[in-house]
Amino acid sequence: MTPEPSTAPVTSTTPDAGGPAVQLPRGFRAAGVTAGLKASGRPDLALVVNDGPDHHGAAVFTSNRVEAAPVTWSRGVVGDGRVDAVVLNSGGANACTGAQGFLDTHRTAEHVADVLGVSSGDVVVCSTGLIGELLPMPLVLAGVDAAAGALTPAGHLEAATAVMTTDTVPKTAHHPASGWSVSGFAKGAGMLAPALATMLVVLTTDAVVDQAELDAALRSATAVTFDRVDSDACMSTNDTVLVMASGASGERADADALARAVTAVCADLARQLVSDAEGAAHDIAVTVRSAASVDDALEVARAVARNTLFKCAVFGNDPNWGRVLAAVGTTRATFDPAALDVAMNGVQVCRGGGVGEDRSLVDLTGREVHVVVDLHAGDDEATIWTNDLTHDYVHENSAYST
């Protein structure tokens, strides 16, 4: 995903797109195994280990006040900037599980630490799945043993696969730089709404970096990528984006180059999350132009992106621009209602707050839809990516826990 969708698309590097499998940077090993947490029998536990020489880590987490036990644990882990490993499970979110849930996360980190010979205080834990159920700990711990035994520098795709829930494809991305690179994998196909990090994402780089620059690069990257995806306005209890740097390339990355590379990988993964959102039939970019501030642009774009009537209309290939204006009107952004313009896939359906070109000229049958709202109030601009609201979304989410 790029902030401006009219620029060249980011190259997808998922295996299903026909490209080569994304590899881990030097200094990392990973594995994905089947621990038995999922009824489906699919892989459900992943481990990524940083063998150094550096062990820099940084992370952003959900801003949901009801946060899962692994989020609470991992906030503490990354506080000192060192991360040696991350263990991730699908098949259970370990959220709303009380004191026992936190003990289970702690015990998982201790077990990973014992097996790897590191400190549990340097082990990040991530969980995803149903809220409100305790994890079957014997299976988790045995899964850690199996994953540790399967660790390999070629294990990136296996790890990406083991964290999938309703995802239909594993999501990986890669950005090469001069002698070093950034790789990443992500899971997420629902509960995508930010003002925070989004979903479980693990980024790895072999560049030699300062920890503070790594942290800054991650925060600037997520602010313009994952934070601008809003599939269904539902904020998760477990979202985590972790980056680890091994320094194994021996090549130093300057702050700008690092930020560019991390942003590119985050943008690629964020766009993949939108493309694989639960039940979606359209990927929708809502761009707000000529706003008085970026905050105004984001508020307006998000109001449109969250409007269920608009999202249903796109599902029906219906260029119902009145619903766009009705959503814009709920915001506090600076604009004159009589000056609003709206274009849908290049057709100026609303001009000056009133009727523009014939709505029948708009073709919404493609997967990607671009809505442009011009506020005529300034020079700032922002884009939010969202999805349409479909029968499949309702179907998937009306039968998740039962």
Site string for a copy of itself, 206-235 (x = CB under 8 A): --------------------------xxxx
- Both tokens of residue 391? 């029968």
Which one-letter DSSP state was computed for residue 168? S
Is residue 317 within the footprint of a copy of itself (CB under 8 A)?
yes
Query: 223 Cβ partners below 8 Å, 6+ apart?
Result: none
- Can you name the residues that pair with 171 across neighbouring β-strands? 186
C-alpha pair distances (Å), 157 with each of 29, 174, 276:
11, 12, 17
**CA dist., res. 104 & res. 139, Å (int):** 12
Tokens found for residue 68: 């899962």
What is the amino acid identity at position 145?
D
The active-site residue, picked from 13, 62, 108, 198, is 198
Is 128 a known active-site residue?
no
β-strand 283-291 against 368-374: which pairing, if any?
Answer: parallel
Q: Answer yes or no: is 397 a known binding residue.
A: yes
What is the DSSP code (8-state) at residue 15? G
d(CA 242, CA 82): 11
State the number of binding residues for a copy of itself (CB under 8 A): 69
Number of Cα atoms under 13 Å in the Cβ half of residue 94? 28
Q: Is 17 in the site for a copy of itself (CB under 8 A)?
A: no
Site map (CB under 8 A) of a copy of itself, residues 282-311, x = contact: ------------------------xxxx--
Q: Check whether 402 is labelled as a binding-site residue.
A: yes
CA separation for the pair 402, 397 (Å, rounded): 10
**Is residue 110 close enough to count as binding a copy of itself by CB under 8 A?**
no
97 is in an annotated binding site: no
Which position has the token pair 């479909």? 390
Instruction: Please answer whether residues 21 and 172 qualify as being in contact, where contact means their C-beta atoms are separated by less than 8 angstroms.
Output: yes
- Nearer to a copy of itself (CB atom), residue 68 or residue 264: 68
What CA–CA distance (Å, rounded) separates 200 from 264? 17
Q: Which is nearer to a copy of itself, 56 or 306 (CB)?
A: 306
Q: Which is nearer to a copy of itself, 28 or 315 (CB)?
A: 315
Query: Which x/- pattern over 239-278 shows residues binding a copy of itself (rule: CB under 8 A)?
Result: ----------------------------------------
CB closer to a copy of itself out of 142 and 361: 361
Q: Is 237 annotated as a binding residue?
A: no
Angle among Cα 70, 73, 79 to the nearest 5 degrees reads 130
325 binds a copy of itself (CB under 8 A): yes
Among 2, 12, 236, 275, indicate the residue that binds a copy of itself (CB under 8 A).
236
Draw the binding track, 358-397, toward a copy of itself (x: CB under 8 A; -: no contact): -x-----------------------------xxx-xxxxx
Q: Is 128 in the site for a copy of itself (CB under 8 A)?
A: no
Closest CA to 236 of 136, 164, 395, 129: 129
CA distance 397 to 389: 12
Stretch that binds a copy of itself, among 50-58, 151-159, 250-258, 320-328 (CB under 8 A): 320-328
- Report 171-200 residues binding a copy of itself (CB under 8 A): 190-191
| The pair of three-digit structure tokens given for residue 253, joined into one six-digit string | 């990355």
Kindly state whether residue 106 participates in binding a copy of itself, applying the rule CB under 8 A. no
Query: What are the counts of helices (DSSP H) followed by strands (DSSP E) for the chain?
Result: 10, 15
Q: Tell me if 278 is assigned to a ligand binding site.
A: yes
Residues annotated as catalytic are 198
List the binding residues.
165, 187, 198, 278, 397, 402
List the binding residues for substrate.
165, 187, 198, 278, 397, 402
Interface residues with a copy of itself (CB under 8 A) are 64-67, 93, 95-101, 130-134, 190-191, 232-237, 306-309, 312-313, 315-318, 320-323, 325-331, 337-338, 340, 349-350, 352-355, 359, 389-391, 393-402
